[in-house]
Each structure stands twice: as C-alpha cells, then as structure tokens.
Structure 1
Amino acid sequence: MITLERLWTVEEVSEFLGVPVATLYQWRHHRIGPRSRKIGRYLRYLPEDVMSWVREQE
C-alpha cells in the first residue's frame, strides 16, 4: 500500500521549528538546514527530512 504524505511549506517548517522563514532560506543557501526541494517555483520539505535533521542536531 502506498501512502502519500503531504509536503510541508516553508511557513509550516518555520512554525514547526520555531524559526523565521528568512532563517530557513539562509540555511538552504548555506546548505545547513533540513533538506528541501523545489517543486516548480515553490520550496517544499518532506516531513521525514525535517524530523531527521532535528534528530541530528546536538
């Protein structure tokens, strides 16, 4: 059975992590934040990528 999980927006990740949207864009530019993907002109995150990144932080 295939389950499709909805991708998170920048605003949703910002709220989840408690950081400003601008910080997520800076992290993406410096390649230090959670993995993100461009879908057309939109930036999206897989929830499991965000959670994995959170677990890796000390």
Structure 2
Amino acid sequence: MKTSPRTTLQDQPHAADELMSIAEVAALVRVPVATVRYWRHLGTGPLGFRVGRSVRYWRSEVIHWLDEQSRHPQTGN
C-alpha cells in the first residue's frame, strides 16, 4: 500500500481560515454589497474566488487587503 506524505498547515495556508461570502465581506468593510462586486470587477478589492456559482473570500485575505489599504491609501482626484 502506498502512503502519501502528510500535509501540514504550511502546505495548506488557509486550512484554519474562514470562508466569507460577499455579504460578509461587505459587512466587515461596512460598504454595500454592490461596492464589493464593483471592486471585484475592477480587480481592486480583496482577492476572491468562485466556489460553484458563489464568490468566496478567505478572511485572512480580506484582513490583509484592509491592512494594505490603510498602509497605502488611495489619493482622491
């Protein structure tokens, strides 16, 4: 019988992470869902991905994106 090497949390960085829906991300960031969708369309929001027909976000990715936004704020026109 073949055995596969054990995977560790280092091999799976999101193993202990939480998946968030677009509505949960919007609530966390305190913006309308439409704004999160627009950011996704522009490619400027937190990194999301499809699971079937739904878009999901890793909580750690959203927190990292928020941290980056606070470190490098966008300037207005």
Is TM > 0.5 for Structure 1 vs Structure 2? yes
Aligned counterparts, 1:1-58, within 5 A: 3-57=15-69, 58=73
Normalized per residue, the structure richer in helix is 1
**Unmatched runs of 5 consecutive residues or more in structure 1:** none
Identical-pair percentage = 36
Q: Please say which of residues 16-25 and 3-12 is displaced more in the overlay.
A: 3-12
Question: 1:5 offset after TM fit, Å?
Answer: 2.7
- Largest Rg, 1 or 2: 2
- Scaled by the length of structure 2, the TM-score of the pair is 0.69
Q: Please say which of residues 3-12 and 16-25 is displaced more in the overlay.
A: 3-12
User: Runs (4+) of structure 1 moved beyond 2 Å?
Assistant: 1-6
Cα deviations by residue, 1:21-43 (Å, 9 ceiling, x for unpaired): 00011000000000001000000
Q: Give the CA RMSD over aligned residues.
A: 1.3
Higher relative contact order (CA 8 A, sep 6+): 1
Structure 2 counterpart of 1:28, which letter? R
Q: How many residues align?
A: 58
